[in-house]
Amino acid sequence: MSLDARTQELERNLAAVRERIARACAAAGRDAGEVTLVAVTKTFPADDVVRLVGLGVRDVAENRDQEARAKVQAVLDSARPGAADLRWHFVGQLQRNKAASVARYADVVHSVDRPALVTALSRGTVAAGRELAVLLQLDLDPSGKATGRGGAAPSQVLELAEQVQAADGLTLRGVMGVAPLGAPAREAFTRLAAAAAVLRERVPDATWMSAGMSTDLEDAVACGATHLRVGSAVLGSRPSLR
């Protein structure tokens, strides 16, 4: 069966990104199988997610609850083989009043950065009868100034980890970070890797390091990232939100 033009575009983009990951892993002396590609599908239609499922993608991410809820249901309604097995990641800043909603469909939340959010996600997850994997988002700006992207200070990683471990329904899987604008990504991800190492000493199973996007995935791989959040390099330029 011939593929439609959009599916062919996504297939080419995926191949290019996977090749970049393979080269980055080879340069870092790592096995490419250690790295998970998470396709960030925010603002793109559910049809694109369904196409990605057909191309072998198993991890997708969203950053807005309202969009994500509708998209998850649309993908499930497609009945595409593999759609029910997708792992849905929530990667955006999360408001406490949206936590219960996100807990009903997300498999992983990358952006846990404060105790109130831990409590809200725990309540929502328990109410939904589910288990939720979470990552601690850390602020990687060396100046210590708020960047507007969220994130706890790296020095708070163990305190926040204890709160997650004490919460029902949540499993701590590791850390997440976003390289600050205008700063070297390699330096930022080195700080994230250091915090990840501190966390692993306390929580050996917290092995995930979510870092790197379309423009800096090579730096993230070099610093030990296990999960890459890639949007535009896979899906193309983002459509404008209405």
Q: What is the CATH number of the domain that holds 81?
A: 3.20.20.10
Q: pTM of the predicted model, to two decimals?
A: 0.95
> Nearest CA to 180 among 226, 209, 213?
213
Asked whether residue 240 is domain-assigned, the answer is: no
Q: What angle do CA 146, 189, 35 make, to 5 degrees?
A: 130
What region does 122 belong to: left with phi over 0, alpha with psi -120 to 50, or beta? alpha
Task: Say what the pLDDT of residue 94 is.
Answer: 95
Asked whether residue 69 is domain-assigned, the answer is: yes
Question: In the predicted model, is pLDDT for residue 45 greater than 90?
Answer: yes
Task: Say what the pLDDT of residue 150 is.
Answer: 78
Asked whether residue 241 is domain-assigned, the answer is: no
Handedness of CA 46, 52, 57, 61 (dihedral sign): negative
Question: In the predicted model, is pLDDT for residue 1 greater than 50?
Answer: no
H-state helical runs in 29-91: 46-54, 65-77
Task: Say what the pLDDT of residue 183 is.
Answer: 87
Q: What angle do CA 203, 204, 207 make, to 5 degrees?
A: 100
Asked whether residue 242 is domain-assigned, the answer is: no
Q: What are the residues whose beta carbons fall under 8 Å from the beta carbon of 117, sequence distance 6 or more?
A: 94, 96, 99
Task: Read off the pLDDT of residues 120-144 as tens digits, 9 standing for 90 and up.
Answer: 999 999 999 999 999 999 999 987 6
* pLDDT interval class at 102 (50, 70, 90): very high
Higher-pLDDT residue of 148 and 174 is 174
Tell me the percentage of the chain whose pLDDT exceeds 70: 95
Task: Say what the pLDDT of residue 97 is.
Answer: 96
CB burial string 16-27: b at 16+ within 10 A, e below? ebbebbeebbee
Task: Say what the pLDDT of residue 146 is.
Answer: 57
Domain count, the chain: 1
What mean pLDDT is predicted for residues 66-91? Answer: 97
What mean pLDDT is predicted for residues 160-185? Answer: 96
* pLDDT interval class at 148 (50, 70, 90): low
Query: Is residue 193 a contact partner of residue 223, using CB atoms and an 8 Å limit?
Result: yes
Tokens at 203, concatenated: 């929580």
Asked whether residue 64 is domain-assigned, the answer is: yes
- Domain of residue 201: give its range: 5-235
Task: Say what the pLDDT of residue 147 is.
Answer: 56
Higher-pLDDT residue of 108 and 3 is 108
Tell me the percentage of the chain whose pLDDT exceeds 90: 91
Helix axes 65-77, 46-54, angle to 10 degrees: 50
Question: In the predicted model, is pLDDT for residue 205 greater than 70?
Answer: yes
Task: Say what the pLDDT of residue 3 is.
Answer: 76
